[in-house]
Amino acid sequence: MQLVFATNNLNKLKEVQSLIPDHIKLLSLKDIGCFEDVPETQLTIEGNAVQKAEYIKEHYGYDCFADDTGLEVEALHGEPGVFSARYAGEQRNANDNTNKLLENLSSQSNRNAQFKTVIALHLNENTETFTGICKGEITKEKHGEGGFGYDPVFKAEGYHKTFAEITLEEKNKIGHRGKAVQQLIQFLESHKNSS
């Protein structure tokens, strides 16, 4: 089986590739000759994931899945949420986004937050969605060199290290994207066995 993962984010691609079984061949947008910005104009994380998957199917003809991820911070009423990648502006700079988040939380004692990933799979004309959530808290400063995005300021529940300080294997076990990808894989496996 071959599936397109609708992302230009090489970090996401690497993270997901390490989880997907070998019999599923993962293609990137570059592999199918898609160099345009796939639209993400919905007001929810779910909406964006579905929009991206359907866009690739409609314009390129491939079975495909797309994800959208947001960091939802309790004290900021769910911000940055669907705007996580563009929180500090259209330049989509992770450092700027993280700095803005820390600034907005500087007077807050409630640091509770969750990462939420929704994967939308467009397969055989049907769309399925899978949601992964990882609860945790925002640290007061950045720690670690690994990961990407908000990873240096996010500590998962029960962990003393940020996502930027743990290995990719650990992150995939407990993280939001890993949880959503596991559901996707289970669905594909059961689909493969029943078809």
For residue 160, what are the domain limits? 2-194
- Round to whole Å and give the CA distance between 14 and 168: 10
Of 186, 188, 146, 150, which Cα lies nearest the Cα of 169?
146
Q: How many domains does the chain have?
A: 1
First-to-final CA distance of the chain: 12
> Which residue has 């160099």 as its token pair?
35
Mean pLDDT of the chain: 93
Render each residue's pLDDT in the chain as its tens digit; 195 residues: 899 999 888 888 888 888 888 888 899 999 999 999 899 899 999 999 999 999 999 999 999 999 999 999 999 999 999 999 999 998 889 999 999 999 999 999 999 999 999 999 999 889 999 999 999 999 999 999 988 999 999 999 999 999 999 998 899 889 999 999 999 999 998 877 655
Query: What is the maximum alpha-carbon separation in the chain?
Result: 55
Contact 27, 55 (CB under 8 A): no
Return the structure tokens found at 192: 């493969």
Which residues are identified as catalytic? 68
- Round to whole Å and give the CA distance between 70 and 86: 11
Contact 43, 82 (CB under 8 A): yes
Q: CATH code at 26?
A: 3.90.950.10
Of 108, 153, 157, which Cα lies nearest the Cα of 133?
157
- 15, containing H or E segment: helix 10-17
Whole-number pLDDT of residue 19: 86
Q: Give the number of residues written for the chain.
A: 195
